[in-house]
Structure 1
């Protein structure tokens, strides 16, 4: 199978349906996954970009209690908001698949087959328990101190250092719903997936794949492999979630993180149907013989789950499924110097920002400041000043310069290009390609490359001689070729500009930088944003 024909599956971390997506979420996996998927599609690759809501997470229960609603009502309203936000951002996702009977059947079939194959073990574990409420605590229902880095943490995994804290490992546990409720410990039998049994295969996988990972995530995987790998809960004594189908654990639910892989498989199947590319088994696109390139986009706080637990969930099925080529992992995105926080109302909802600022400018600023290798910061004032000074003004100045340079040119006839112009266009392509392709995918450098080329092309436009002087520094055909090359490679980020030009008949296909002639077209202008003082405050203080 040629690289161009190889199908791709791009999975963004499944959002918990306990609220909308704020700007910190969007600057992480969702924009990055979309740009990568758009790039693959532009190269001619068949690509499915998808995710689904994580309805059965315990955070739904704790958030619903805090907001005075029911988990089911919270899921319904949150899913609608998340879907609208993803559409407003212009992602390639064809929607969010329903978490329905087909979803549940996919999950149950996946885990039942593993159970029948003897992949799970029955263990007696010690669990925190809210004495008055009579509730076993896990993940979003419990908070305390991480036993590894000693920072505040929820159950399951530490957001700060990424290490897991299963069962009774979290220090000073408190019931998140009622911190005054005494927490005691009780022993229960549950089914687990013993990750240590997969150490040899995991080590081989990471040796070949983590060179493609970002340094912080790669470091965490090394730390996890340096100690005995934990048992992953498969079932848990709870009430919110899918009822576990196993006789050994009556009245238990499936641990929600166990759903992630079958959920992603289901989402891929559902999206493929919407795109007219499916018709077979639910897991057809994930089968190893399909040869798909599988790439995950998620945050550092999910490296343990998406990078280790979910990998073992695939390996437990033997060689049936493809495994991810890479996990593209982002750090945290701060708001005005502090972490986004729903509980403290310190956030900006993505939908609110997109309602105030042109979408391409939002996408560009989030790309430019994306928290790829370290924490970065969002500022509404900086969004205005940076996009105005570094993108909109030089972009529109280039549009004016190109229009002036082409005065008197016959727009009905394609303009010839020169070898020098084609060489410059090819050099530009190589800079963009290095930004978009694995293992060095980076939105930040792609956005910086757009800025660099704007300045260069502005000087080129000033040097154009439409009279055909053989000694002129630049030919009009070269200017248009290089401008079209810039537009083509900026299109995965600037989606509205790309759609506008495509509708006008401009060919933005990648690989046209070697063309010997180029049709005359109008270089588009970008809309402006406004300063914070000219618009209502976007910091949310009511939700």
Structure 2
């Protein structure tokens, strides 16, 4: 296992509150990964921030009649509070408008690309709204994707994840006035992505990726990669540090690559280290870089940004794993902030323990296909599984410890063959679960199902051992069952840190859960026999959360 890991989550756009669709993806994934790495004794940093320069920020502010920066500050505050309520613990949450390091590193990145001849000046057709006198791209216009026919904004399609040239959108309209755009020639800087095709193929072959991301990248390379404008003649974003293009703004998806550098530098500064060490940390041979993002943003993270990094410095370390998620839907359609078709994270987390919400989101995480939230499914997992089977087994275990050993972990004797088999079974579950937390096979869905399997096996073991009359062998069975509870605290910690720490402490352990193998707590260690961890959710939960 690498001794140090950098885990990045694509920065959220500060133009609205977060809903469960947001939480189910990069932010929960990145938090689970960094916690799993630390469980095994590794060190690392979880990096994210605000994606201030998305065009969706000024368009939202304009509709609301507010100042874009003031609006972004308010939503960034709310996002930080939601992260805290959910138990997501990034080591840094960078707000670019407050970070001189962000501005400096992004500007240096593009100045160097230009100095090295990696950017090209092109005169191309672009779309403008004559009535609004505005250059149209991204959030400023809507049409139909030229590749799949779904509704799409400019530059990329959420449905098929393929980029568009904006001018090839079908039936585009200006989102400000509803007018039909006109084409005009514009001179801008582009990045010749096609020149990096073979290097990108080699990168993908050496990188852990989902099958759908592999297919997207391979298909795009086979069809021929487009040249990508990295600057736009607009008024929102960081100025392009290239002579003659100072009035253009850096394309936000290209800005994101050096933005990760800035997040690392800010995290080092927050830890009391020299932020100038970011290059050393990023490129250290024992550093592993793992990136989390939605599949709809796959082209940006798997093609554009790695190629920009290759152009910036071919010796820079590239990510070892790119972890994606599909859309988490509400019923039959995806969560939508603009349509208010959503369950808001702050409303749910105000009514439901974070560990319960995190378990449900991980269990039904949309890893390879879209999955859907329903209230019946939420109650099934929260009430029947957690407050039902898990709590029932743990209550029984602590009750047996209270009545048979006066609340202390017993010292087992030579175990029966069935007890040995149970301990070996636990070791197998642990191996599989830890593998499900690894970057190459990352699957919280698999991990949570293994946690449920652990509880089922422990329940079955307790029932089967209930006829054991010999005191020493009965003590051995109880010690083995306590080992299962201890293992549950260890393996659940990445997904459900609050619950895992409560169970760990109830078993008499100190600190936070750590991986040291499958074993019972020390003999004689006192346990909190009256501990409870889960309660059934209120019957009117939906009304509480969905109130107007």
- With normalisation by structure 1, the TM-score equals 0.93
Q: Secondary structure at the match of 1:281?
A: helix
Distance 1:21 1:529 in 2: 25
Question: Deviations for 1:303-360, whole angstroms, at most 9, x for unmatched residues?
Answer: 0111111111211123332111111110111112221111211111111110011111
Tell me if structure 2 keeps the 8 A contact 1:48–1:272: no
- Higher alpha-carbon deviation: 241-250 or 346-355: 241-250
Distance 1:377 1:405, change over 3 A: same
In structure 1, C-alpha distance between the alignment counterparts of 2:353 and 2:74, rounded to whole Å: 25
Provide the residue aligned with 1:506 in structure 2.
Answer: 509
Is the contact between residue 265 and residue 282 of structure 1 (CA under 8 Å) also seen in structure 2? yes
CA distances 1:201-233 after superposition (whole Å, capped 9, x unpaired): 111111222xx3212221111111111211121
When residues 144 and 346 of structure 1 are mapped into structure 2, their CA distance, relative to the original with a 3 A threshold, is: same
C-alpha separation between the residues in 1 aligned to 2:469 and 2:410? 15
The residue aligned with 2:267 is 271
Q: What is the Cα deviation at residue 517 of structure 1? A: 5.1
Aligned to 1:366: 361
RMSD, matched Cα:
2.2
Q: How many residues align?
A: 534
Matched, 1:220 2:216: yes
Q: Secondary structure at the match of 1:165?
A: coil
Q: Which residue of 2 aligns with 1:325?
A: 320
Q: Which residue does the alignment assign to 1:434?
A: 435
1:495 aligns with 2:497: yes
Q: Could you say what secondary structure the match of 1:226 adopts? A: helix
Q: Which one of the candidate residues 89, 94, 98 is aligned to 1:97? A: 94
Structure 1 runs not aligned, ≥5 long:
none
Mapped to 2, the partners of 1:53 and 1:315 lie a distance apart of 25
Give 1:538's aligned residue.
545
State how 1:44-63 maps to structure 2 within 5 Å: 44-63=41-60
1:24-423 map, 5 Å: 24-99=21-96, 100=98, 101-179=100-178, 181-209=179-207, 212-276=208-272, 278-286=274-282, 288-406=283-401, 407-409=403-405, 411=407, 415-416=411-412, 418=415, 419-423=420-424
Cα distance in 1 for residues equivalent to 2:267 and 2:521: 39
Q: Is the 8 A contact 1:108 1:245 kept in 2?
A: yes
> 1:445: how far off?
1.4
Equivalent position SS for 1:9: strand
Q: 8 Å contact 1:414–1:520 — kept in the other structure?
A: no
Alpha-carbon offset, residue 186 of structure 1: 0.9
Tell me: CA distance 1:142–1:413, structure 2 relative to 1, closer, same or farther (3 Å).
closer
Give the conservation status (yes or no) of the 8 Å contact 1:11–1:33.
yes
Q: Which SS does the other structure have where 1:166 is aligned?
A: coil
Please give the alpha-carbon distance, in whole angstroms, between the structure 1 residues aligned to 2:146 and 2:380: 43
Task: Find the aligned partners of 1:370 and 1:320 in 2 and give their Cα distance.
Answer: 35
Residue 514 of structure 1 and its aligned partner are, at CA, apart by: 5.0
Which whole-Å deviations, capped at 9, do the CAs of 1:475-508 have from their partners, x for residues lacking one?
2211111210121101111111223345565153
Asked whether the 8 Å contact 2:290–2:319 carries over to 1, the reply is: yes
Name segments (4+ residues, structure 1) moved above 6 Å: none
Deviations along 1:29-81, whole A, 9 cap, x unmatched? Answer: 11111111110011111111111111011011221122222212221111111
Secondary structure of the 2:543 match is: coil
Partners of 1:465 and 1:476 within 8 A in 2 = no
Deviates more, 1:11-20 or 1:426-435: 426-435
Taking the aligned partners of 2:504 and 2:540, their CA distance within structure 1 comes to 35
Matched residue, 2:462: 461
CA distance in 2, matches of 1:466, 1:264: 58
Q: Distance in 2 between matches of 1:540 and 1:281?
A: 48
Q: CA deviation at 1:410?
A: 5.3
More displaced 10-residue stretch of structure 1: 139-148 or 460-469? 460-469
Q: Indicate conservation of the 8 Å contact 1:421/1:482, yes or no.
A: no
Q: What is the TM-score normalised by the length of structure 2?
A: 0.92
Post-superposition Cα deviations, 1:162-195, rounded to whole Å, max 9, x if no partner, equal 110024222222111221x231011111111111
Deviations 1:429-465 (A, max 9, x none): 1121232113221111111111121122122233257
User: Which 5+ residue runs of structure 2 have no aligned equivalent?
Assistant: none
Please say which of residues 30-39 and 94-103 is displaced more in the overlay. Answer: 94-103
Contact 2:144 2:170 in 1 (8 A): yes
Aligned partners of 2:163 and 2:455: how far apart in 1?
Answer: 46
Deviations, residues 145-169 of structure 1 (Å, cap 9, x unaligned): 1111111101111101111002422
Distance (Å, rounded) in 1 between the aligned partners of 2:399 and 2:337 = 50
In the alignment, the residues of structure 2 paired with residue 456 and residue 479 of structure 1 have an alpha-carbon distance, to the nearest angstrom, of 10
The answer to whether the 8 Å contact 1:333/1:370 transfers is: yes
Asked whether the equivalents of residues 426 and 514 of structure 1 are also in contact (C-alpha less than 8 Å), the reply is no
Larger displacement relative to structure 2 (519-528 or 33-42): 519-528
Task: State which of 520, 527, 539 in structure 2 corresponds to 1:521.
Answer: 527
Q: Greater CA deviation, 64-73 or 506-515?
A: 506-515
